[in-house]
Amino acid sequence: MAMARIEGLEKGDTKVIRLEQESVKTAVARQLNVMHAVILRDIRSRYFNHGLGFLMVPLMPVAHIVMLLVWYKTMNRAAAYGDDLVLFFATGLIPSLTACYVSRYMSVSVLANKNMLGFPAVHLLDIILARSLLEIFGMLLSVAFLLIIIVSLGTDPFPGDTANAGLAMVSAILIGVGVGINVSVITAIYPFFATIYALFTALIYITSGGPIFLHTYPEQVINIATYNPVFHAVEWMRSSYYTGYSTQYLSKGYVIGWGIGSVALGLLMERLLRPQVMNG
């Protein structure tokens, strides 16, 4: 009798576990389906109402970098490290523009897709995560295009320290996503904030050291720039390419902490301000 009860309990526990596993799978499948739908709508609605318009996402930062590199070459700017001007500035522009572009385009993600919240299956976080994946994929395509261009110019674009270069890129993406989540929630409530942040990204971009080499400026200027987490991503990237590159201003803990902290704060804001966003 006792054995029968034990077997019954075990069968019941197994059934509960299976039901829980199925519910998790169902929830994950729902999340993926919703995000897929949001991404497809985002791609079609942003450029020319056509899926191929997505190519504009990676091409815009590529065009930005190429124009700057052509200008530097025309002005006979010298590389501060190494003997390749294109590679030196590319190592700064790629992480800098990654953080700026990802955060700026994420800032209007909820605002641009707010009507989708009228569907019960679509949640605020779905829109934010879908746009973040879209922007990350777009920037990775941009990097791939740039590598092809740099190789075609006869330059070796691969770093001496691949692991640190990869971590620098991840830190730039993390900052872009984290800040983007925060700004997207605020912009969904106060649309004018999107313009304010777009202007502010210019300051982030300049003080990152990507378009200009800040080490040639007075120490007071560099000390101010060190408050910008993107500056540390740029320094991290360049130090992975050039042996002997000065890392006295680089703080890997600062940029990683900024990235993780901004993502955590953004998710908390999304949770707490969800009613205001829905009713805004």
Residue 36 has pLDDT above 60, yes or no: yes
b (16+ CB within 10 A) / e for 38-66: bbebbbeebeeeeeeebeebbebbbebbb
Number of residues that make up the chain: 280
The pLDDT assigned to 122 comes to 81
Amino acid 206 reads: I
Residue 4 has pLDDT above 60, yes or no: no
Residue 263 has pLDDT above 60, yes or no: yes
Structure tokens at 144: 């791939």
Angle between helices 193-207 and 162-189 (to 10 degrees): 160
Judge whether 128 and 184 are in contact, CB under 8 Å.
yes
The pLDDT assigned to 9 comes to 44
Residue 244 has pLDDT above 90, yes or no: no
Residue 38 has pLDDT above 60, yes or no: yes
Residue 82 has pLDDT above 80, yes or no: no
Give residue-wise pLDDT tens across range 124-144: 888 888 888 888 988 888 889
Which residues, in sequence order, are CB contacts of 91 under 8 Å at separation 6+? 159, 234, 237, 238, 241
The secondary structure of 164-199 as a DSSP string is HHHHHHHHHHHHHHHHHHHHHHHHHH-TTHHHHHHH
The pTM of this model reads 0.85
Residue 48 has pLDDT above 60, yes or no: yes
Our CA angle for 53, 55, 58, nearest 5°, is: 135
Judge whether 262 and 178 are in contact, CB under 8 Å.
yes
Judge whether 34 and 121 are in contact, CB under 8 Å.
yes
The pLDDT assigned to 12 comes to 55
Angle between helices 124-152 and 56-74 (to 10 degrees): 40
The pLDDT assigned to 233 comes to 97
Mean pLDDT computed over every residue of the chain: 84
Residue 180 has pLDDT above 60, yes or no: yes
Sign of CA dihedral 253, 201, 96, 76: negative
The DSSP letter of residue 53 is G
Mean pLDDT of 19-30: 68
Residue 69 has pLDDT above 50, yes or no: yes
